[in-house]
Structure 1
Amino acid sequence: MHDIDNLQKSITVDTFHTDAITHVYQYPLYQILLFDQETIIQIDFTTYIIPPQSILFLSPFQHLSFRNDGTTAPQQLRFHGDYYCIEYHKKEVACNGILFNNIYIQPYVVVPISLFHQVEEIFLKIKDEISLLSQHSDAIIKAYLQLILALCSKEKKSTMKDFLPLELQDNTLALQFQKDLELLFLEQKSVAYYADKVHLSIDRFSKKIKQQLGKSPSTLIQERTILEAKKMLHLTHLPIKEIAEQLCFHDEHYFSRYFKKNVGISPSQYREQVGISIVAK
């Protein structure tokens, strides 16, 4: 059984307090935040207007910023993905998952008020269980966390058309780009390549993708590459040099600079704080 210090390092529930000005926050843990009122936030420097009764999902070291007007104090749950619900985590939280790490869709889900209150109650139950630390606390907390993820995954699937298989959806430019990017992002990191595939100029292609997906194709290519790097650093013991090679960076040092520029820390620091090596300690 884990002692209280180890348990609290693996999962915490509290109120997300900010100062009076906009500030950027980054954590080496997964985060779930409950917003009971409309809030304007930035995730990785993309602006979102979060409606009331929204649940926001953040992966380790994502950039979060919002201005606290004195009334915004969302409840937050932070957890280490490898310690809690490992199998469920790998399936549902992995690269391009439904709740976390999907570069093509909004990072939050708007839920019915009854579900919002249900998740609030589960937050409180997890917090109580952490303080109790009984013989069965680990199993109970894992079950509560998996319940939150399952309920929110179900809600997001039911409200988002984009989770239908690509072959069942309209063949829009954005969907075709998603399909191409998933297949080719390792070898093809040039916007010109994807624009040429659909016989559009780079400017026209970029404008259309930005209109349909809310991000430029260059940003999406970059984010998809970083997501794959995070997944490999998180879920494997591969040397960083080998990860760089698999991601088609022929220079390990260039890969490290690229990763640090986009994430804020080096690949080795990311692995040290987020990767599976933590679980073995």
Structure 2
Amino acid sequence: MDVFNTNTLINEQTGNLAFKLSSFEDDCQFCSLQRLNYYSLIWVKKGSGTAKIDFTEFDFTADTLFAITPYQPFSLMEKEKIEGVVLHFHPDFFCIHKHQEQVACNGVLFNNIYRPPYFCVDDDIRSNFEMVLEQMRTEVQKAELAQYELLVSYLKIFLIIASRAKAKQQPESLKDAPDEKEPFIIQNLKDLIETHFKTKHSAGEYADLLNISPKALAKITKNHFNKTMTNLISERIIIEAKRELYLTNKSVKEIAFDLGYDDEHYFSRFFKNNADISPKVYRDTVGFARAMA
């Protein structure tokens, strides 16, 4: 692994990585499938390649920033030699859910099943990123009074800049609509999933609500999201389950019931199949149980 200028903070109470800022000169640390228990912001400054995130592949070029959530499976394979910067932070270090009103990155950078998990970094954003990252590098090496507070402040600035930039860029999956009706169907579908994901778990139910055939709905979701309806529904349920496991002390059985599952064991298998980790292990490593330890 060719990594340099690495600056790392460890949570002394838990032994978990709290904050890490490093540079990379190849794809060695990303070429095998990763499932990390912290957030990752990976800025590819040079080179190109293919990213595999969840079960979708994306081609990328220089000046692409990826935003990866805890336990989201991903890998990067270079075509042209890649170089860049990676910023990791653990939910114990900075909780994006608790600071949503201040930063508004949840649903934009992270946990958005409708947008690709990356955006392009233009000249203006690049200069702002470089300035904030340099301040982070300087501060992480000091170990002085209020280091945590200052690093969190810089992290907030970085996340706000990134969220604003991504919000301005149209996701590629929504650009080429096959006909003029589909954008309205897509918006209605997103609204319906948000309203009913706790009670309606099948593609057929959403097709009925939209008054179209399941086959037509499958074609639309494939064209716009490169995912199936089952993927979209499942991902929304998993996002909510992770929030509950992270922010509350509800039992897995209670969370399962709130999300429309009467069988706790079935829900646990569903969660593990989609998140690659059991609800209990997720809570123990990044969730409420860890926060209270």
Q: Which TM-score tier does this pair reach, normalised by the shorter chain?
A: 0.7 to 0.9
Q: Which runs of 4+ in 1 moved over 4 A?
A: none
Give the aligned residue type for 1:10. A
**Secondary structure at 1:145 match in 2:** helix
Superposed displacement of residue 182, structure 1: 0.5
Matched, 1:99 2:109: yes
Matched, 1:213 2:225: yes
For 1:39 and 1:143, locate their aligned partners in 2 and report how far apart those are by CA, in whole Å: 32
Distance of 1:22 and 1:107 partners within structure 2: 17
What is the alpha-carbon distance in structure 1 between the residues aligned to residue 216 and residue 188 of structure 2?
15
Q: Which runs of 5+ in 1 are unaligned?
A: 163-169
Q: Which residue matches 1:265?
A: 277
Query: Corresponding residue for 2:266?
Result: 254
- Three-state SS of the structure 2 residue aligned to 1:10 is strand
Q: Which residue of structure 2 aligns with residue 32 of structure 1?
A: 41
Paired residues of 1:174 and 1:213 also in contact (CA < 8 A)? no
User: How far 1:271 moved relative to its partner?
Assistant: 0.9
> Between Structure 1 and Structure 2, which shows a larger proportion of helix residues?
1
CA distance in 2, matches of 1:207, 1:255: 28
Partner Cα separation in structure 1 for residue 157 and residue 289 of structure 2: 26
Counterpart among 5, 9, 12 of residue 20 in structure 2:
12
Deviation of the 1:244 alpha carbon: 0.8
What secondary structure is seen at the aligned counterpart in 2 of 1:24?
coil
Query: Which has the larger strand fraction?
Result: 2
Secondary structure at 2:195's aligned position in 1?
Answer: helix
Q: Compute the TM-score of the two structures, normalised by the length of structure 2.
A: 0.83
Instruction: Report matched runs for 1:1-281 at 5 Å.
Output: 5-6=10-11, 9-15=17-23, 18-19=27-28, 22-36=31-45, 37-69=47-79, 71-84=81-94, 87-89=98-100, 92-94=104-106, 97-160=107-170, 172-281=184-293
User: 1:40 & 1:100 partners in 2: Cα distance?
Assistant: 20
State the Cα deviation string for residues 202-258 of structure 1 (Å, max 9, x = none).
222101121122222111011111111111111111111111111111111111111
Determine the C-alpha separation between the residues in 2 that align with 1:18 and 1:131: 26
Q: Counterparts of 2:80 and 2:58 in 1: how far apart (Å)?
A: 19
Q: 1:19 to 1:153 in 2, by over 3 A?
A: closer
Identity of counterpart residues, as a percentage?
28
* Alpha carbons 1:20, 1:68 under 8 Å: kept: no
User: Which runs of 5 or more structure 2 residues have no equivalent in the other structure?
Assistant: 1-8, 173-181
Q: Residue 70 and residue 204 in structure 1: after superposition, are their counterparts in 2 closer, same or farther (change >3 A)?
A: closer
CA spacing shift, 1:161–1:9, aligned 2, 3 Å? closer
Amino acid aligned to 1:28: N
Mark the CA change 1:157 to 1:6 in structure 2 (over 3 Å): closer, same or farther.
same
Whether the 8 Å CA contact 1:39–1:50 is kept in 2: the answer is: yes
Task: Supply the AA of the counterpart residue of 1:128.
Answer: T
Deviation, 1:18, is 4.1
- Contact preservation (8 Å) 2:23, 2:86: yes
Equivalent pair of 1:54/1:111 in contact (CA under 8 Å): yes
Gap change, CA 1:189 and 1:125, over 3 Å in 2: same
TM-score normalised according to structure 1 size:
0.87
User: What residue in structure 2 maps to residue 166 of structure 1?
Assistant: none
Counterpart amino acid of 1:205?
L
RCO higher in 1 or 2 (8 Å CA, sep ≥ 6)? 1
Contact kept, 8 Å, 1:88 with 1:146, in 2: the verdict is no
Where 2:211 maps in the other structure, the secondary structure is coil
What do residues 42-80 of structure 1 show as CA deviations (whole Å, max 9, x unaligned)? 110111122421211111000101224572243211112
Q: What is the CA deviation profile of residues 104-147 of structure 1, one whole-angstrom value per residue up to 9, with x for unaligned ones? A: 01111212123224323423432332221101211110111000
Secondary structure of 1:187's partner?
coil
Taking only aligned residues, the RMSD between alpha carbons, in angstroms, comes to 2.7
* Cα distance change, pair 262–184 in 1 and its aligned pair in 2 (3 A): same
The one-letter amino acid paired with 1:116 is R
